[in-house]
Structure 1
Amino acid sequence: MTLKYFDTDNLSPIVEELFHLSFSKDTVPFESTILPICSTNITYIYSNCQSAIFKGNKMPLCDLIVTGQFYESYQFKVKKEGHSYGITFHPTALHKITQLDIHKIKNKHLPLKAFAPQLFELLNPIFLDYKDDANKLTKALKKTILELPIVTNKTIILIDKLITIIHEEEGMLNTYELLDYVNFSQKTLETQFKKVVGLTPGKYIRLHRFLKLMRKYEGKEINLKDLIFMYNYYDHSHFGKDFKYFMKQSPKTYFKSDHPLLNEYLNK
């Protein structure tokens, strides 16, 4: 299993990551837990033997797909060798590009053609033309992304500001505190945030906090005990409940196993 990232400096704040994921014969079959990273993705899977399983629902992964915001982890399986190339968007970017309700694809992997046909028609030929050359594909996608019409308004600008605040605070705040930065009600905030980002602000905050903790742990920046209290968990029991909710297993079970793909992208 090889995960490679490409430079995205000139694509900010639309694209957060461009990545190429490949599996050779000696690394399949492969299975991994996938922890959501508070973003949406568009990915081309050059194989028909990959799938995602979420709450018992198996979703085949092939050709050009869009991945909505997931609030819980899911299982990723690969049966045969192959590769994929993906785009990870800033939390508000897919809405700015498509003007579609991102919450409608929450916890889903769908064919991009079914969700955003015009974007599919634009991107699909590029993925096919450069399927065997990741560097040329990267260059072509960058050019196309920079030419995309980006639609924004006062509400989206405010949501971008709130996301920046959530990230700066590493998720250690609540929805009520966000209301100090906007001029509308909590209900309106939740409705608009969910439409633009795909999750309610409360769920986004909770997931982002857990994700930051896991990244610091996997990066060996600080021990787990100190991280638990640094991220405002009351005790190990409180942390254990969040861990089991997001990862679908206890911390004890998780830390006994190897998670190469998860470790790779959490350490980016």
Structure 2
Amino acid sequence: MIFKRIPPPADLQKIIDCYWIIENDDPTPHLQKIIPDGFCEIIFHYKDPYRICLTDIWEQQSMRLVAGQISRYFFLENTGAAGIIGIKVQPATLTHLFNLDMHLLTDKVLDLREALGNRLDALEQNLHSTHDHDEVITFLNQHFRTILVNARYEESPADKAVRLIFAQKGMISVADITDSIGVSERQLERLFKKYIGLSPKFFTRIIRFSTIFQLIQQEDPGWAGLAYESGFYDQSHFIRNFKAFTGEEPSRYGFDEKNMANFFLKKKP
């Protein structure tokens, strides 16, 4: 299986975290767990579709998708060969570019046209015209530059709050966020509902949780050390939080496994 992450050029970093490509010609079904990481995604399949289980029901996905913020883990399974192009966008990007109310997409993975109509049809056609990875990234950069110009992007206080949360690795209180960016707690809640789809407090929990996957690549301080470095009060609090997002205790989680969850969360330090 090929896992590839490609950073966007500097002028697109305010709207895109990364592009990613997954390919696997083995049609054997493999169950994949997807874990919250604080980002939304636009996804195109160019081989066989996947099945998804967000709650208790399995269903086949569309070949073109948009995924909002997720608050809990869910499962995917391939139905054949995998060929996927993903755009992992910054948390507020879908509102900036397409005026989406993100709370309507929370814990949802929708057909792209259901969410955006035909606004990305031209991009999809270009992507299907080649599977050369370099050409795909060129198409994506060109298309998102055009979208960004037409959207007349203007930064909101939600963007400032998100940057602060990332900079502090989720280890910051809502009160400190509101003090830093000059808005009330009620205003921040409204902004996060529209631009992010999660409450500020829950979003900081996800980002703090995701820090664990960075720390574990840099050192091996043990679970007590990881709990301290990632800002948890004690080891039991750390374990409860980890299990809430992954469904597993950290000692049982396969950090070294080559799977989608680790590919998305274990970014290179």
TM-score (norm 1): 0.90
Alpha-carbon offset, residue 91 of structure 1: 1.1
User: Is the 8 Å Cα contact of residues 47 and 62 (structure 1) preserved in structure 2?
Assistant: no
Partner Cα distance (1:94, 1:222) in 2: 37
Q: Which residue of 1 aligns with 2:261?
A: 262
Cα pair 2:72 2:244 within 8 Å, conserved: yes
Question: Are the counterparts in 2 of residues 45 and 61 from structure 1 also a CA contact under 8 Å?
Answer: no
Q: Which amino acid aligns with 1:134?
A: H
Whether 1:51 aligns to 2:76 is no
Aligned length: 263
Identity %: 22
1:78-121: CA deviations, max 9, x gaps?
A: 13112010101011111110011011111111011010114233
CA distance in 2, matches of 1:141, 1:240: 39
Could you tell me which amino acid in structure 2 is paired with residue 40 of structure 1?
C
* 1:1-268 correspondence to structure 2 within 5 Å: 1-10=1-10, 11-25=12-26, 28-130=28-130, 132-148=131-147, 149-153=150-154, 156-217=155-216, 219-223=217-221, 224-255=223-254, 258-268=257-267
Q: Which one has the bigger helix percentage?
A: 1
What's the Cα RMSD here? 2.1
Given that residues 66 and 112 in structure 2 are in contact (C-alpha distance below 8 angstroms), is that contact kept between their aligned partners in structure 1? yes
Runs (5+) with no aligned partner, structure 2: none
Q: CA deviation at 1:152?
A: 4.0
Using the alignment, how far apart are the partners of 1:209 and 1:31 within structure 2?
26
Residues in 2 aligned to 1:7 and 1:208: alpha-carbon distance in whole angstroms: 19
CA distance in 1, matches of 2:51, 2:226: 33
**1:256 to 1:195, Cα distance in 2 relative to 1, 3 A:** closer
Residue identity in the other structure for 2:219: E
* Structure 1 moving runs of 4+ over 4 Å: none
- Once residues 163 and 219 of structure 2 are traced to their aligned partners in structure 1, the CA distance between those partners, rounded to angstroms, is 23
Q: Tell me, yes or no, if the aligned pair for 1:31 and 1:75 is still in contact at 8 Å.
A: yes
Contact 1:35–1:73 under 8 Å retained in 2: yes
Name the CA distance, whole Å, in 1 between partners of 2:45 and 2:259: 20
User: Could you list the runs of 5+ residues in structure 1 that have no partner in the other structure?
Assistant: none
CA distance in 2, matches of 1:78, 1:215: 27
Conserved? CA contact 2:8–2:19, under 8 Å: yes
